[in-house]
Structure 1
Amino acid sequence: MNKKIVENEKLYLRNFTSEDFEDLSLILQDEETMYAYEAAFTEEKVNDWLRWNIKSYQENGFGLWAIIDQKSKVFVGQCGIVYSKVEDESLLEIGFLVNKHYWNQGYATSASQLCIAYAKNGLKAKKICSIIRDTNLSSRKVAEKNGMTIVKQFDKNYSGLPVRHFVYSLDLTNEYEQRK
């Protein structure tokens, strides 16, 4: 069994393995789930995504992790910490995607709170952010529940089109309290 990185009563996060390809494909190849990316992933892109995360574990000690339900042991999505470039700045970001069958059940909020605590206590990070498409209201709500506020707006290029994104940020140098 894969080692738990962090956990709470609801879920735990663990490293991806090649065995997660099918579960990850259910998320990354779903048009509805991937609307914020403008397109679902091909099989090749899902494989690239897995390799990119495994490489991040080796190089950074973290990456996106599998979200596993504590009771059922079901793979419900991904959440973790990555480096993201916004204009000329490299930011420590919490990213998450949940299988649409588990939307609105608190998985993204709970998993991202675990990542905030990990960034603060394990990585000794001073701040953490989430980069969210302006129209992605559900993800914006998760960031706001976690105490993040918008600090920047920018356009990402998707197939030649500018798509507005918000950078939500949380200062980890102040006492952070998990929000329910």
Structure 2
Amino acid sequence: MAIVLETERLVLRGMEQGDLDDLAQMLQDPQGMLAYEHDFTPEEVQDWLDRQRGRYARYGYGLWAACRKDSGEMVGQVGLTWQPCEEAEVLEVGYLLKRRFWHQGYAREAAAACRDYAFTVLGAEKVHAVIKADNLPSIRVARALRMERERAFLTHYYSGERLHYLYAVCRPPQEG
């Protein structure tokens, strides 16, 4: 699939059926899926991939495969999706990495590129991150993207309601 974005160390491209095993490594990792409160079945992994491909067709974007430039290996998925937040939908930059690539700056690097893409290519006025309140690594990524916490809210999960934070950053003023 064609490259959508490039960063210093990564290329972001649309996911395809051949990425299913890489997706399963992320989505079936119980520790990596703590924010989702469950790891996925093989059928749910396929549904996830199909949903991203549907987003590409509908919007032209979604969660993309984030792959190392030097090896082509998929480190995770990062991109832009519309997410429900209380009574509205927000454009969210989201990221999920294979555990062995955590704490290496990949989420911040790729999410920053997606934020900039939302502003420059999509013309978005604001980009959000919906983060479970106890997900401190994601909160650090959001802050590194100059996002500020706008509010707290409850989301229904498998084991009940969970506190989430809505972080956001506005498009910088145009120069000139």
Classify the TM-score, shorter chain.
over 0.9
Matches within 5 A, 1:1-180: 2-159=1-158, 161-174=160-173
Q: Is the 8 A contact 1:96 1:108 kept in 2?
A: yes
- The secondary structure found in structure 1 opposite 2:72 is coil
Give RMSD over aligned pairs: 1.2
Alpha-carbon distance in 2 for matches of 1:41, 1:81: 21
User: Are the counterparts in 2 of residues 15 and 66 from structure 1 also a CA contact under 8 Å?
Assistant: yes
Conserved? CA contact 1:78–1:98, under 8 Å: yes
> Aligned letter for 2:6?
E
Q: CA shift at 1:144, angstroms?
A: 0.2
Number of aligned residue pairs: 175
Give how far 1:72 is off. 1.4
Letter in 1 for 2:157: Y
Q: Look up the equivalent residue of 2:35 and give its one-letter code.
A: A
TM-score, L = length of structure 1: 0.95
For residue 19 of structure 2, give the secondary structure of its aligned residue in structure 1.
helix
1:121 Cα deviation (Å)? Answer: 0.5
Identity %: 35
Distance 2:173 2:44 in 1: 38
Q: CA deviation at 1:174?
A: 2.8
For 1:7 and 1:77, how far apart are their aligned partners in 2? 14
Runs of 4+ aligned structure 1 residues displaced above 4 Å come to none
Residue 42 (structure 1) shift: 0.7
Matched position secondary structure for 2:29: coil
